[in-house]
Structure formats: structure tokens, C-alpha cells
Amino acid sequence: MPLTTCWPTKPWPRRVNPVPCASSWPRLERCPASDYNVLLRPAAERERRKLSPKVRPRVNQALLALENEPRPHGVTKLAGYANRWRVRVGDYRVIYQIDDQAQEVTVLRIAHRREAYR
């Protein structure tokens, strides 16, 4: 299931002039200006749904940013893997891999930092 989306960071209060492609949660649709497709593995989707309401919008925002720039400032390539990357979102980590030829970012895990590397 691709996670190529454009959802607002907060469901309330509603914006007077919503951004293009804004949709309400959990509807997922592609933004026309996106370069990469962000795909969530089933385990990552379950982990994302279990996040607290305070953390979930920040993780969603980080996932949206990966559509336009899969290697943003502050991203770390994980040692011991050929193509795994990590982005920090507070105390949580989003671990993903990038396929430049297919222009896809596959999110493998979304976990608290104490559990992310186990």
C-alpha cells in the first residue's frame, strides 16, 4: 500500500486555505509534485497506527518530506546495510530504504529509539 500522501499535520483547527492535495486522515492519495513514492511495509503501518496522537503528526510530516527528498539533511545511512537509512523524529526513528531507479522509498520500521535497532 503506497503512502504517497498529502495530509494536514493537525486535523483541528481546519485551515482556511488548505494546501493543494490536502486530505483528511486516513485517506491516502498522491501529490502531483512528489518525486518518490513512499511505501509502508505492513509492520511499519501497524507501528504508525499505534503511535500516540502527539507523535503521529510529526512522523506523518517526516514521511511526507521523504516524497520530495529521500535523503534530507540529518539523515543517517545505517552501518552494516547496503541501502538502509534512518531519520530521527524526536525519540522515534523511521528506518527505510531507497530505490532510486523505481523512485520508491520503502519504510521498514517506525519505532522508539530504544527498540528501533533490535
Residue 116 contacts residue 93 (beta carbons within 8 Å):
yes
In 3D space, the residue among 65, 69, 117 whose CA is nearest the CA of residue 93 turns out to be 117
Would you state the pLDDT for residue 35? Answer: 85
84, burial (CB in 10 Å: exposed 0-12, middle 13-18, buried 19+): middle
Asked if residue 17 is part of any domain, the answer here is no
Strand (E) or helix (H) holding 76: strand 76-77
The rounded distance, in Å, linking the Cα atoms of 44 and 106 is 10
Higher pLDDT, 27 or 74: 74
CA atoms of 42 and 114, how far apart (whole Å): 21
CATH assignment of the domain containing 79: 3.30.2310.20
Compute the average pLDDT of residues 58-83.
92
Average of pLDDT values for 83-111? 94
The total number of structural domains in the chain stands at 1
pLDDT digits (tens, 9 = 90+) for 16-68: 444 444 444 343 445 555 689 999 999 999 999 999 999 999 999 999 999 99
Would you state the pLDDT for residue 116? 81
Domain annotation covers residue 12: no
* CA 42/CA 50 separation, integer angstroms: 13
The domain in which residue 49 lies consists of 37-112
Task: For residue 66, tell me if it sits in a domain.
Answer: yes
Q: Look at residue 117 and tell me if it is in a domain.
A: no
Instruction: Quote the pLDDT of residue 115.
Output: 87
Give the mean pLDDT of 97-108: 93
pLDDT surpassing 80 at residue 92: yes
pLDDT of 33 reads 57
Is residue 71 included in any domain, yes or no?
yes
